[in-house]
Amino acid sequence: MTTATAQAAPNIAFIKYWGDRDASLRIPANGSISMNLDGLYTRTQVKFEPELESDRLQVNQQEIKGPGLARVISLLDWVRLRSGRNTPALVISENNFPMGAGIASSASAFAALALAASAAARLELTEHELSRLARMGSGSACRSIPGGFVEWLPGEDDLSSYAVSFAPPDHWDLVDCVAIISQEHKKTGSTEGHFLANTSPLQAARVADAPRRLEICRQAVLRRDFEALAWIIEQDCNLMHAVMLTSNPQLLYWQPGTLSVMHAMQLWRRQNLPVCYTIDAGPNVHVICERWAVNTIVSHLEAVPGVTRVLVAGPGGPARLEL
């Protein structure tokens, strides 16, 4: 087989990855925890073709060159090295969710690429090895290889830094309601942002406290304790944005609509709705809730000024090959 197709879901981090210990290998400064997002996916086909002059990449029917292609080539190079081949590849990738919608497409994209490329090259990799390979393309992609609720064990080198599932998707019917504030492309992407983390005097304290937050988050998920989960998710998100806001140069991802959602949520919580927010490197707000509250929350969100659209996703499965 020189062709393979794989699908992977994006994920939303409850405990965030921000800053690297080793940027070239994407060894993170701290561990992180996330939930895969069901129903959203990147589908990628990799075809090793001797007739090609060099690697080619198409995303959503558009030919990609420059840094996007270079990032894909370095992952393909690793697969070629391990499988002892030097054939160029054609990579065709599609997302079923809007790009730049506040859902990191790099996580699902590099997880699907790692799985499709290794299968097309007939490498039989374990889940840990696949997670490490996906990590080379994008840190958060290592968390989109296993299914459900996932923890990225930070490790200290390539071998020890990978993600594992600690609860399956059906363990807890949590929902991520993504309130889309803007679909504009962000000015500073995550890769650049990770480099700036250490310019904030708060990053060292954030990293030192990460094991405590990871433990609380893991236990809250295992016990399905929404109150404990909500508290730690928001604290972790606020710590990351405190680092961003105090970096040099400053990273301010929030927009007025972002704050409108955060304020509105304080009111909903007083009405006993189980909700909490988390925000990545962009203005959109991921509102996490339990399934029974989803309809109320979506209609509340749609009424907040600045919210243009709401996407809804429950816990998703692992990356998988299409047979």
Phi, psi of 137, deg, nearest 5: -80, -45
User: Least distance in Å: CB of 110 to ligand DP6?
Assistant: 8
Q: Per the structure block, which two tokens stand in for 254?
A: 């929030």
Stretch that binds ligand DP6, among 118-126, 135-143, 288-296, 311-319 (CB under 6 A): 135-143
Write out the H or E segment, with its range, that includes residue 118.
helix 105-120
User: Least distance in Å: CB of 190 to ligand DP6?
Assistant: 3
Give the residue, chosen from 9, 104, 115, 121, that forms a contact with ligand DP6 under the rule CB under 6 A. 104
Q: Is 284 in the site for ligand DP6 (CB under 6 A)?
A: no
Stretch that binds ligand DP6, among 13-21, 41-49, 157-165, 264-272 (CB under 6 A): 13-21
Q: How many CB atoms lie within 10 A of CB 267?
A: 10
| Amino acid type, 306 | G
Task: List b or e across 53-62, with b for residues whose CB sees 16 or more CB atoms inside 10 angstroms.
Answer: eebbbebeee
Give the residue, chosen from 38, 280, 287, 319, that forms a contact with ligand DP6 under the rule CB under 6 A. 280
247 three-class SS? coil
Strand 62-64 and strand 149-153: the pairing is unpaired
Q: Is 281 in the site for ligand DP6 (CB under 6 A)?
A: yes
For tokens 């790009």, the residue is: 99
Give the residue, chosen from 106, 131, 165, 258, that forms a contact with ligand DP6 under the rule CB under 6 A. 106
Rounded Cα–Cα distance for residues 84 and 68 (Å): 24
Of 139 and 315, the one with the shorter C-beta distance to ligand DP6 is 139
Q: Is 140 in the site for ligand DP6 (CB under 6 A)?
A: yes
Q: Is 17 in the site for ligand DP6 (CB under 6 A)?
A: yes
Q: Is 203 in the site for ligand DP6 (CB under 6 A)?
A: no
Give the residue, chosen from 47, 80, 194, 241, that forms a contact with ligand DP6 under the rule CB under 6 A. 194
Give the residue, chosen from 144, 190, 203, 258, that forms a contact with ligand DP6 under the rule CB under 6 A. 190
Q: Is 234 in the site for ligand DP6 (CB under 6 A)?
A: no
Strand 275-278 and strand 285-290: the pairing is antiparallel
Phi, psi of 184, deg, nearest 5: -65, 150
Give the residue, chosen from 138, 188, 203, 247, that forms a contact with ligand DP6 under the rule CB under 6 A. 138
Residue 57 CA neighbour count, 13 Å, CB half: 18
Interface with ligand DP6 by CB under 6 A: which residues? 13, 16-18, 26, 32, 104, 106, 138-140, 190-191, 194, 280-281
